[in-house]
Structure 1
Amino acid sequence: MRILTLSVLAVATLAAAPSFAQDSNGGNTYVTLGYSQFQFARNAAAGTPEVELGTITGRIGYQFNPNFAIEGEGGFGVNDDKVLGVTVKGRGTLGAYVVGIVPVGEKFSLLGRAGYQQAWVEAKLGSIKVKDDDGSFAIGVGAQYMFDDANGVRADYTRYTENDGTDGFAISYVRKF
């Protein structure tokens, strides 16, 4: 519960980040908007097949220096899956991360991130509906290419440690302020 509270506080702090955008260096605050695909691990021993869900994902972050940022992330489900007659829906996600950045060139950077994410999922079979929410530590890698000083694209892979591991793949538009 304490980790969830800290995550919510981190996201709330990030909501105030636009006020930092007037920094003399400029470009410290950023937002992303994109699509994330989550693959929940197949449990062969239990006979459970893999489930894939998609979300529209947004992030808001603040880059303190060329190598370090923090970001909050939220998403809502847009792509459901049907497994063994059960419809599985991703309702939403909310997370907070620290991000390490390694500039490789003027426009290209490699990213590493670690944090905590909460996810809300619903499963429905006929009139029976089960809702679940689960939190997980997460670690990921990615790359970002900036077309100019303000616009770019970012691709990420994130591994969520709970529930035998879930993989997340994301592609996003990046806007720096």
Structure 2
Amino acid sequence: MKSLIALAATTALTLAVPAIASAQALSPTTFYGTLGYANANIDDVNLGAVQGRLGARFGQYVGVEGELAAGVKEDSVNVAGTSVDVKLQHQAAIYGVGYLPLSPQADLFARVGYGNSKIKASAAGTSAADDGDSWNYGVGGQYFLDDKNGVRVDYTRHDFKDSSENADVWAVGYTRKF
């Protein structure tokens, strides 16, 4: 799966390179925002978050976006016979995005970026929080119902630095062009 996502991201960004060479392809610049729900799976922990993004798309093929998320669903895991509650405190990331337009209303995209996530664990009246930096990459699609409003679905893999932990994040949301 990791190889497939890396291949898709590389393909989308490769398709965007000729567009970067043409100044016409970089205009017009459009701005957008999304609001949605993300489900993150980290080993046996399944967490949920409300997720927002702001982005700029430069022409048809390339863009950048920033992402913020706040945890809304926690999970419990058993560690050495003790129940530990785990919750995502917050997450932030920035991405470069390559788009493959399928029609005036539909796009596929690949994105690569860098982020930070903070997680809190609580058990037996004590708690601890830790954060981790990650390289993130993923693919998705979006469909616009009219000129401004659409839906977006994506998958993003978070490969945490200095850790063997990874997160698989599936997200669905409303997107609006400004």
- The one of 150, 158, 161 equivalent to 1:160 is 158
Where does residue 122 of structure 1 map in the other structure? Answer: 120
- Structure 1 runs, 4 residues or longer, greater than 3 Å off: none
Tell me how far 1:25 sits from its aligned partner: 4.1
Higher strand share: 2
Tell me how far 1:102 sits from its aligned partner: 0.2
Question: For residues 134-173 of structure 1, what are the structure 2 equivalents within 5 Å?
Answer: 134-162=132-160, 163-173=164-174
Alpha-carbon separation, structure 2, partners of 1:25 and 1:114: 22
Tell me how far 1:161 sits from its aligned partner: 1.1
Where does residue 40 of structure 2 map in the other structure? Answer: 38
Answer yes or no: is the 8 Å Cα contact 2:148–2:176 preserved in 1: yes
Where does residue 130 of structure 2 map in the other structure? Answer: 132
Where does residue 57 of structure 1 map in the other structure? Answer: 51
Alpha-carbon separation, structure 1, partners of 2:133 and 2:28: 36
CA RMSD of aligned residues (A): 1.2
- Normalising to structure 1: TM-score of the pair? 0.79
Whichever residue aligns with residue 138 of structure 2, its letter is G
Alpha-carbon separation, structure 1, partners of 2:129 and 2:159: 20
What 5-or-longer segments of structure 2 have no aligned partner? 1-26
Tell me how far 1:164 sits from its aligned partner: 3.2
SS in 2 for 1:105: coil
